[in-house]
Structures are given as C-alpha cells and as structure tokens.
Structure 1
Amino acid sequence: MSVLFTVGYEGTDIDRFVRTLKAAGVRQLADVRAVPVSRKAGFSKKKLAARLAEEGIEYFHFVSLGDPKPGRDAARAGEFDLFRSIYGTHMQTEPAQDALRDLTDTVQAAPTCLLCFERDPETCHRTIVAREISEEVGFDIFNLFADDPDRYVRNAAKLPRFHSGEGATAA
C-alpha cells in the first residue's frame, strides 16, 4: 500500500523541516492552509515554495482546503468538536470538493506531504483531508514531526514508501 504524509511546522525551523521531508522521500508538498503566511521564517508561501524548489520538492497550494477562520478560532480555543463541525461543513462546499479532487490526483503522482501549522495531527484539519484522500485512493497516512529529522534518517528502512500506481483508483 502507498503512503500519504502529513506534517505541521509548529516547533521547528525551515532547515529541520526540509530535512524531514527529504528523509521521508517527499517529492511534493501540498499546503492546505487557508492563509499561507507565517511569522516563522521560511514558511510563507513564496519563500517556502522557493526553498522547496531548491531541494527538488514541488509545492502546491490548495487554498480551498484551508480551515475557515471560525474553525481556526475554535481549534485555537481548544473547542475541537466545534472545529471539526465547522470544517466538516466547509468540506461539503463545491470549492472544497473540487480542491479535494485535484489534491487526490496530485497525491497519486508522487510521494506527497500535506502541510499545515499544528504539530499535533489530531487537532489539525490536515488529518481530516488526509483521511478523505485515504478513503478515496487507499493510501496509508503517516504523520511526520519536523522537529527531529534525524529520527527519520536513523529509521529510514522502517518508513513507509510511496508506490506509484497503488491505491483504489489504480485498479
């Protein structure tokens, strides 16, 4: 079975972040932030895309899959049931469904990682997006933590790998 990675950049810097992606074999980064700007150096859209291009990683932004402001506010307040409800409603919109189809096509092409800010994947909408894609194409989800890329270097043989053509739509 093939794999879809997810990662948050909370608690890391751009160098460790990129090393983590490279150690995992990621070739495409799918940014699912509604607002792709950051106070953390290197994580705003243009600088991130340029840095990733230097490293041979393609950058895509799926703005319609970003969490709307009320959902972000609920998550920030620790109201995760409300956050999930707001995001679930957002995911039913036509722009979100169109973006989800585009993202699903993208992740089938090469090893891809979904990006958002939150370190904890269970409190981030990227997990909801990843689960939707996983159900559609049959990929396993593997959450990366970019604060210690050496863990992935040390355990490279144990990392799941992308297998082109695998998944429900390949049959």
Structure 2
Amino acid sequence: MKRDKTPVQVASIGFTGKTAQKFFDSIKDAGVRTVLDIRLNNTSQLAGFAKKQDLPYFLEHLCGATYVEMPELAPEPDLFKRYQSKELSWENFRTEYFELIARRRVESNLDIALFESGCLLCSEHLPHHCHRMFALEYLNQHWNKRLSITHLT
C-alpha cells in the first residue's frame, strides 16, 4: 500500500487523574476540533466532567470542539473484563482487540477526516496501557495516510 506523505494530526487523552481545567486546556491548547469517544462506559459516575451527556456542551463552549461517540473502537465488555481480571496479558488483549476491530472493519467504516485534528478519548491517564494506543496503531497500519500521534497528558 502506497502511503500519502501528508500525515493526519491526531491526539489521544485520558481523563483520569486530570482536573477539568487540565483536561479542557490540554484539548484546547492542542487545537483539537473533534473529540472521538472510544470508551466502553462513558456514562459512569467515575467519568465526572467527561460524562457523555455533559461532554458535548463543555467541549463546544470551552474548546470550540465537537464530540463524536465512536463505539466501533471500544473493546467489548467481556474482552475488557478478561484483561482486568488478569485472564489476558496486555499482549493478548492487544491481539484480541485487533481481531475485534478488524471484524468491525473500522479501517473501511470510519471516516479518516474525523481524525484530522481529532483526539481519541478514554479514561486511562497514560496511553501505554490503554486501548486508544492500539486503536491508533491499528489504523496507522491499515490506512494509506500516516497518523501523526500526540498523547496529551
């Protein structure tokens, strides 16, 4: 596959361990236009200021960004549960997650334009143990445009 040399600028962020000010300032300062919510559970009490029902308002009014729920990149509950219970190693979680999003044909079904100046959102503070890193890795391998990734902390 021949790659387009112009990279797509995309970010990722987790809300855990951040104040609302830090979270929204990071998104605004990075020039994010669209927050792509790839969380499995985006309505729990733990989500706080990042709850699905409140986030579109905050993003629009504080950052000038839009909100898009993207369940195609969320892991299935059973897969996530098996990883949390240590039934699956991180590497096996990655393998099964890749298989899942391949079955969903995300590389064909998602619009790459949403990712330009977009930001994948999940709960994990750092990306190195979050499926958002795997989602971006998978898409980078399957799209003809390279994703230039910045992890907002």
- TM band (smaller chain): 0.7 to 0.9
Q: Secondary structure at the match of 2:120?
A: strand
| 3-state SS, counterpart of residue 50 of structure 2 | coil
What corresponds to 1:14 in structure 2?
Answer: 20
1: distance between equivalents of 2:82 and 2:152?
A: 24
The match for 1:62 among 56, 63, 70 is: 70
User: Is 1:4 aligned to 2:30, yes or no?
Assistant: no
Please give the root-mean-square deviation of Cα atoms over the aligned residues, in Å: 2.0
Question: Quick one: which amino acid aligns to residue 35 of structure 1?
Answer: N
- Alignment partners' CA distance in 2, 1:131 and 1:57: 24
Match of 1:26 in 2: 32
- State the match for 1:88 in structure 2: 98
User: How many Å apart are 1:21 and its aligned residue?
Assistant: 0.5
Is the contact made by 2:32 and 2:119 (CA closer than 8 Å) also made in structure 1? yes
Could you say which residue in structure 1 is the equivalent of 2:146? 138
Structure 1 residues 14 and 75, CA, compared in 2 at 3 Å: closer, same or farther?
farther
Q: Is the 8 A contact 1:131 1:141 kept in 2?
A: no
Deviations 1:64-118 (A, max 9, x none): 210111222233245312321321221122xx3247632423113xx11101111
Structure 1 unaligned blocks of 5 or more: 146-171
Contact kept? 1:104, 1:133, Cα under 8 Å: no
Partner Cα separation in structure 2 for residue 75 and residue 14 of structure 1: 28
Q: More strand by proportion, 1 or 2? A: 2
CA contact (8 A) 1:29 1:59 kept: yes
Q: 1:91 and 1:131 mapped to 2: Cα distance?
A: 12
Give the TM-score of the pair, scaled to structure 1: 0.73
CA gap 1:2/1:106 in 2 versus in 1, 3 angstroms: closer
Q: Compared with structure 1, are the counterparts of its residues 68 and 31 closer, same or farther at alpha carbon in structure 2 (3 Å cutoff)?
A: same
Q: Give 5+ residue unaligned stretches, structure 2.
A: 1-6
Q: Equivalent residue for 1:37? A: 43
> How far does residue 140 in structure 1 lie from its aligned partner after superposition?
1.2
Tell me the number of residue pairs that the alignment of Structure 1 and Structure 2 aligns. 141
Cα 1:11–1:66 shift into 2, 3 Å: same
User: Identity across aligned pairs (percent)?
Assistant: 22
Change over 3 Å in CA distance of 1:4–1:100 after alignment to 2:
farther
CA contact (8 A) 2:98 2:138 kept: no
Q: Moved runs in structure 1, 4+ residues, more than 6 A?
A: none
CA contact (8 A) 1:71 1:83 kept: yes
